[in-house]
Amino acid sequence: MEPFKNLFNTQTVKEIASNLANENKSFNVKKFEKDILASLDSLEMKDRVRLIADALNQHSNLDYKQNLKVLTKCIINNNLKGFILWPFSQYVEQYGLSHSKNINETFKLLELITTNFTSEFAIRDFINTYPDESFAFLLSCAKSPNEHLRRFASEGSRPSLPWGKKIIDIERLKDFTLIVLEKLKYDDSDYVRKSVANHINDYNHIDPKFSLKILSRWSKEGVSEKLIRHALRTLLKEGNSQALNILGYKSPKEIDAKILSLNSKEIFEGDSIEVKVIIKNNNSKAKKILVDYIIHYPKKNGRYTKKVFRLKDVEIKSKPIEITKKISFKSVTVRKHYEGKYYIELQINGKLFNKKSFKLNEKN
């Protein structure tokens, strides 16, 4: 599979140059292409985007306001969509902050880009530098009939947007969160609601009391369980009792459970191990249970890190439940498996039960 960064290649650069030249007769195509192509192949994705934005600024021979008009015409006249627009929003991100008098024109361009791609990264510095204007703009987007703009209102203001700049004033952001997400919590678009859930889940890492207060209220107001569950996913994996209670998972004090067995005490990297679990409910009433298994991985330095995985979401009655799960230990890009002792632990509605160990050997 071709690397993601190669979306910005020689052909893309020439296409951008051609589009810009059509709308700006003073644009220096040759120098634009030469400056970019000299180092493009050696750069990763985000640096390629920055390089193109810098070259756009250097070789347009126009001021910032004029460039906004050119970029707007480029998008509209050439029906541009998708990743080719990222350097345009990057240009705004890099050069727009010093042009506060043009902030309305800046936001108009970001709005246009968002309807055809996204501007969630570009808005972050504006939130930090011009919070009043930025929040007013995003609030207007939240009221738009366009689902991409409504999502942008939530996604662009997330407390911890992946790849995005850090929002400095989290306390002020909370005030905005309470306003904007109230307008989006019942949104017709699953695309928008997913962003709302991700936005709140970010707070689970910063201030879980804040997110729990919102979601506890929303659960009583008919907000979809799917949204609430997705927004609580981090706290559910942590076994947070309040998060579990919001979704109807009560105390597991009448639950008996254990890992019965592992099918092997020793495996090699790339192999799988089979775990067998039994769960009993000692109450005559049925109970909702969220069953997770936790793998404790040895790190290179000998310490352990853990990751929680979902095993079963079920209602248990008086009849015991047996679950068998095959777990692969094939190394992937995001996780290397080191040789050593591993543990598999059982968690039900936040309560930890027993754990079993096995040894993983590296293949020769």
The C-alpha R_g of the chain, in whole angstroms, comes to 26
Residues in Cβ contact with 48 at an 8 Å cutoff, skipping those fewer than 6 apart: 5, 8, 40
Residue 36: closest CA among 19, 50, 18, 22: 50
pLDDT of residue 193: 99
Residues 14 and 134 in one domain: yes
CA of 139: how far to CAs of 33, 145, 229, in Å? 38, 13, 25
Determine the structural domain holding residue 353 and report its residue range. 255-361
pLDDT of residue 151: 99
Residues 210-245: tens digit of each pLDDT: 999 999 999 999 999 999 999 999 999 999 999 999
Residues 90-110: tens digit of each pLDDT: 999 999 999 999 999 999 999
Residues 284 and 230 in one domain: no
In the chain, the largest separation of any two C-alpha atoms, in whole Å, equals 80
- Per-residue pLDDT at 332 exceeds 90: no
pLDDT of residue 2: 84
Residue 86: closest CA among 7, 11, 25, 152: 7
Alpha-carbon torsion, ordered 66, 71, 74, 79, to 10 deg: -150
CA of 6: how far to CAs of 10, 43, 68, 255, 309, in Å? 9, 10, 26, 52, 33
Residues 92 and 238 in one domain: yes
| Alpha carbons 247 and 245: distance in angstroms, whole number | 5
Residues 334-364: tens digit of each pLDDT: 778 999 999 999 999 999 999 999 999 988 6
pLDDT of residue 141: 99
pLDDT of residue 33: 98
pLDDT of residue 336: 85
Residues 270 and 235 in one domain: no
Tell me the pLDDT band of 331, cut-offs 50, 70 and 90. Answer: confident
Residue type, 346: L
| Alpha carbons 232 and 30: distance in angstroms, whole number | 52
pLDDT of residue 90: 98
Residues in Cβ contact with 332 at an 8 Å cutoff, skipping those fewer than 6 apart: none
Residues 133 and 154 in one domain: yes
Residues 55 and 188 in one domain: yes
Torsion sign across C-alpha atoms 305, 46, 130, 196 = negative
pLDDT of residue 335: 77
Q: How many domains does the chain have?
A: 2
Q: What is the CATH number of the domain that holds 281?
A: 2.60.40.10
Residues 21 and 83 in one domain: yes
Residue 226: closest CA among 259, 196, 271: 196
Residues 51 and 194 in one domain: yes
Q: What is the CATH number of the domain that holds 72?
A: 1.25.10.90
Residue type, 185: K
pLDDT of residue 1: 74
Tell me the pLDDT band of 326, cut-offs 50, 70 and 90. Answer: very high
Torsion sign across C-alpha atoms 215, 286, 347, 334 = negative
Residues 181-215: tens digit of each pLDDT: 999 999 999 999 999 999 999 999 999 999 999 99
On whether the CB atoms of residues 347 and 289 are closer than 8 A, the answer is no
- Burial classification of residue 258, based on how many CB atoms lie within 10 Å of its CB (0-12 exposed, 13-18 middle, 19 or more buried): middle
Residues 191 and 308 in one domain: no
- Burial classification of residue 234, based on how many CB atoms lie within 10 Å of its CB (0-12 exposed, 13-18 middle, 19 or more buried): middle
Q: What is the pTM of this model?
A: 0.93
Q: Of the candidates 246, 272, 293, which is a domain's last residue?
A: 246
Residues 199 and 328 in one domain: no
Residues 263-319: tens digit of each pLDDT: 999 999 999 999 999 999 999 999 999 999 999 999 999 999 999 999 999 999 999
pLDDT of residue 35: 98
pLDDT of residue 363: 81
Residues 99 and 33 in one domain: yes
Residues 100 and 211 in one domain: yes
On whether the CB atoms of residues 196 and 184 are closer than 8 A, the answer is yes
Q: Of the candidates 214, 246, 278, which is a domain's last residue?
A: 246
Average pLDDT of the residues of the chain: 97
DSSP state of 101: G
Q: Of the candidates 246, 280, 311, which is a domain's last residue?
A: 246
